[in-house]
Amino acid sequence: MSKVDRIQGVRGMNDVLPADEALWDRLESTVAATMRAYGYARIRTPIVEPTRLFVRGLGEVTDIVEKEMYSFVDSLNGDELSLRPENTAGVVRAALEHNLTYESPRRLWYAGPMFRHERPQKGRYRQFHQIGAEALGFAGPDVDAELIMLCRRLWDDLGLPQVRLEINSLGQADERAAHRQALISYLEGHRDLLDEDARRRLHSNPLRILDTKNPAMQEIAENAPRLAEFLGEASRAHFDGLTQRLRDLNQPYHVNHRLVRGLDYYNLTVFEWVADGLTLCGGGRYDPLVEMLGGRASPSCGFALGVERVLELLRQHDLVGEGASPDCYVVHQGDAAAHTAIQVAERLRDAGLDVVMHCGSGGFKSQFKRADASRAAFAIVLGDDEVAKGVAAVKSLRGGQDETGKGEQQSVALEDLADFVLGRLADEPADDANGGI
């Protein structure tokens, strides 16, 4: 036994293992294609940002800033930094820093890890991944509808059934202030029914109380004064503009009066996509944010989806798909064959084939076991005989077995090898092609 203790990963921060790669790959490639279809360009911002960015951009009384941020002081220069808990503030910062919206509005998207110090449980981690899109400088509601339809197309392309759209309007700050007063009076009148969390938020963030998951609080939240009753004409027109477009596009929606977002900067449209009681994706307008971060006022809208939650749903619905497998596995025996094998593998790769070459020693039998385990389409076999004749034996590893149970084997001149394999692959049914479902 080793004397050295093993170091474990950080709680709530997961390794993504090769077995899950097919799933991740499918989501990422589908997302990239969907974003392209709507004209969104990818942006990659740093994981570490000044803490100030999130305090200003998210609001001081949000869950994230109050208790979920990984903040630290850079010991070398005293800078106050945080691991990003979300990417909207970073994208807006970068857009301003590089004048991306100087001439015209911009459609941007991102994907990557985010960090929140939450209690880890299924679908809730401390490092998790988000994919999101931001439409900067668009007043909507056309772009609000576009972002919603982008999500819809993504669920469809992934094959996810029954993802439900919930929408609401948060109005503008003054409308929320009036509603807030009414809400606080109402909640104060029912103070004995509030849980500890709600009492704490009563004066800091009462709107968020409506979002409570506590079953004992459902009735009081349901009967609370509705923000919708406090909306002015312009806010109502924006919301009607969105719902009209959704109806035109045959996109079902459910108006959820209690839908609020955790972040302070949202206004007007908010939406969530929910499946099996789990929120996959949240989004909405954040018109004040760009100005709050020092830019020219530019109305904007965006969403973020939780990658782990979407992947979990894909797993539950058996939409995992096959992982990529190599085209060839090169097995060899003997000194001369070992030298030839490494050259043959390079030439096959030159022709565009995915090739795993056996490295190290081992008899043919154990090498064939590894070839099978690699799920390669063909074993390329090189022994002393083959090298002497300038050929390789090509053995099919998938199907194509004769009555003795052995895959058929053919001798092919080395210079014809790549073309031969490419030809055989082209004849094969495409069902085991890399990565697809």
Q: Can you tell me the distance from the alpha carbon of 399 to that of 52, in angstroms, rounded to the nearest whole number?
A: 60
Residue 206 in contact with ligand ATP, rule: CB under 6 A:
no
In this structure, the strands spanning 254-255 and 164-169 are: parallel
Whole-Å CA distances, 343 to 32, 206, 349, 397, 415:
36, 69, 10, 22, 12
Least Cβ distance, residue 276 to ligand ATP (angstroms): 12
Please, which of residues 69-88 interact with ligand ATP by CB under 6 A?
86
The correct pick among 105, 112, 262, 362 for binding ligand ATP (CB under 6 A) is: 262
The correct pick among 57, 137, 282, 326 for binding ligand ATP (CB under 6 A) is: 282
In degrees rounded to 5, what are phi and psi of residue 192?
A: -65, -20
Query: Are the CB atoms for 382 and 344 separated by under 8 Å?
Result: yes
- Tell the burial category of 292 from Cβ atoms under 10 Å away from its Cβ (0-12, 13-18, 19+): middle
**How many CA atoms lie less than 13 Å away from 134 in the CB half-sphere?**
30
Residue 148 in contact with ligand ATP, rule: CB under 6 A:
no
Contact segment (CB under 6 A) with ligand ATP among 116-124, 151-159, 331-339, 401-409 equals 116-124
Residue with nearest beta carbon to ligand ATP: 306
Residue 110 in contact with ligand ATP, rule: CB under 6 A:
no
Least Cβ distance, residue 68 to ligand ATP (angstroms): 8
Question: Measured from the CB atom, is 126 or 176 closer to ligand ATP?
Answer: 126
Residue 20 in contact with ligand ATP, rule: CB under 6 A:
no
Least Cβ distance, residue 173 to ligand ATP (angstroms): 20
Closest among 68, 66, 82 to 204, alpha carbons compared: 66
Please, which of residues 290-349 interact with ligand ATP by CB under 6 A?
304-306, 308-309
The correct pick among 83, 154, 280, 417 for binding ligand ATP (CB under 6 A) is: 280
Residue 118 in contact with ligand ATP, rule: CB under 6 A:
yes
Report residue 361 as tokens.
């020693």
Work out the angle at residue 44's Cα, subtended by the Cα atoms of residues 62 and 130, and round it to the nearest 5 degrees. Answer: 45
Contact positions vs ligand ATP (CB under 6 A): 86, 116, 118, 123-125, 128, 130, 262, 279-282, 304-306, 308-309
